Amino acid sequence: MADNEFMAMLADGGFQVGELAKLMHPGGHEVTAKNNADALAQTTQWMQQDTVTLYEPAFAADGCLVRVDVLVKRGDVIEIIEVKAKSFDSTQPDFGSARKSISTGMLPYLQDVAFQKHVVQRAHPACTVTAALMMPDKSKVATVNGLNQLFKVQRQGRQMQVTVDPAARALTDADAVLCEISVDHLVNEILSGEIAYPGGQAMLPALAKDWAAAYAQDKRIAPTIGMHCGGCEFKASLGGPLRSGFHECWMQANHWGADDFAGGTVLDIWNFRGKQK
Ligand code: SF4
């Protein structure tokens, strides 16, 4: 794949990659509902068919909800395919490192798929659920010039809309610049062992159940702060109109008041390896 096209596809946050993945599994039905209840109802209806391909179907179990990128159902066998914009070399299909079967870099992607497989399996206990990842393949060369231009990404308010050029529908598997790799054995490894999270480790199904129950009861889980808080997604300005999860966690864990943030925190020190300590 030409480097510039490859970078252009990744720069659009994976939206083009997602559309390309659908073209690699043509003839599917898109679950268009944004509302969870409607998406679940649409999915349930389509899943009654013996053979079906779905894009963005929704599944819920034990208080957890997932939207699957691409799902292929053949009788009682369900394949879930998670599309990632992370590049991969299919000629060296190794997810591990010298010491581990799953490298630190691939672990979040595989844990994501493991969670999806767990929820889909719980929602359809009589079926066999398998998992695969679909990613841009660095080893392939695009056979179509301007491939990324066939997928126009437009922002509509907070939503992203992708318009697919009709020419893209003529793409064949030979034109595919994505690779689909079964990760079922790795996902099973994750589901059969404990996963680490800040403050402990536990089996993923048990964790998902506990955290979903806490969410349903609006119960606060005691925070375990650390250097991971440097990338906190729940940070707002202190004293602003929005609540800031970051500040609430650090106040609770350190018994701090608002004034204690005035001088900054250890997280603000650039390139400091002792943050966790
Ligand atoms: S500050 Fe953010 S990252 Fe840290 S424990 Fe709280 S929610 Fe998690």
Q: Is 74 left (phi over 0), alpha (psi -120 to 50) or beta?
A: beta
Q: Taking a C-beta distance cutoff of 8 angstroms, is the pair 77, 117 a contact?
A: no
CA distance 89 to 215: 39
Whole-number Å distance, alpha carbon 76 to ligand 1 midpoint, is 40
Residue for token pair 């349903």 = 216
Ligand 1 centroid, distance to 1 Cα (angstroms): 39
Ligand 1 contacts CB of residue 223 (under 6 A): yes
Distances (CA, A) of 176 to 21, 137, 141, 242: 9, 9, 9, 44
* HSE-up (13 A, CA, CB side) for residue 199: 9
Of the candidates 13, 23, 153, the residue with the CA atom closest to the CA atom of residue 86: 13
Q: What is the pLDDT of residue 239?
A: 87
Report the atom number in ligand 1 closest to the C-alpha of 198: 5
Q: Is 220 in the pocket of ligand 1 (CB under 6 A)?
A: no
Q: What is the pLDDT at residue 11?
A: 46
d(C-alpha 107, C-alpha 183), whole Å: 12
Q: What whole-number distance in Å separates Cα of residue 76 and Cα of residue 80?
A: 13
Round to whole Å and give the CA distance between 67 and 143.
Answer: 31
Ligand 1 atom having least distance to the Cα of 228: 3
Q: Which of 186, 175, 210, 244 is nearest to 62 (CA)?
A: 210
Can you give the pLDDT at residue 196? 93
Yes or no: say if 136 and 9 are a contact pair by the CB < 8 Å rule: yes
Q: Does any ligand 1 atom lie closer than 6 A to the CB of residue 177? A: no
- pLDDT at residue 16, as a whole number: 64
**Which DSSP category does 53 fall into?**
E
Residue 68 CA: distances (Å) to CA of 58, 101, 122, 196, 232: 7, 25, 14, 24, 25
User: Per residue of the chain (277 residues), what is the pLDDT tens digit?
Assistant: 445 555 455 544 555 677 878 888 989 999 999 899 999 999 999 999 999 999 999 999 999 999 999 999 999 999 999 998 888 888 887 788 777 889 988 999 999 999 999 999 999 999 999 999 998 888 877 666 666 676 676 777 767 676 777 766 666 655 567 889 999 999 999 999 999 999 899 999 999 999 999 999 999 999 999 999 999 999 999 989 999 999 999 999 999 999 999 989 999 999 898 988 8
Residue 250 zone, left/alpha/beta (φ > 0; ψ -120 to 50; rest): alpha
Q: Which ranges in the chain belong to alpha helices (H)? A: 3-11, 15-24, 36-47, 107-123, 184-192, 204-216, 245-254
pLDDT of amino acid 56: 94
* Number of the ligand 1 atom closest to the C-alpha atom of 223: 5
Q: Any bridge partners for residue 58, and if so which? A: 67
Complete DSSP assignment for 188-245: HHHHHSEEEETTEEEEHHHHHHHHHHHHHTTPPPPP--SGGGGG-SS---TTSSS--H
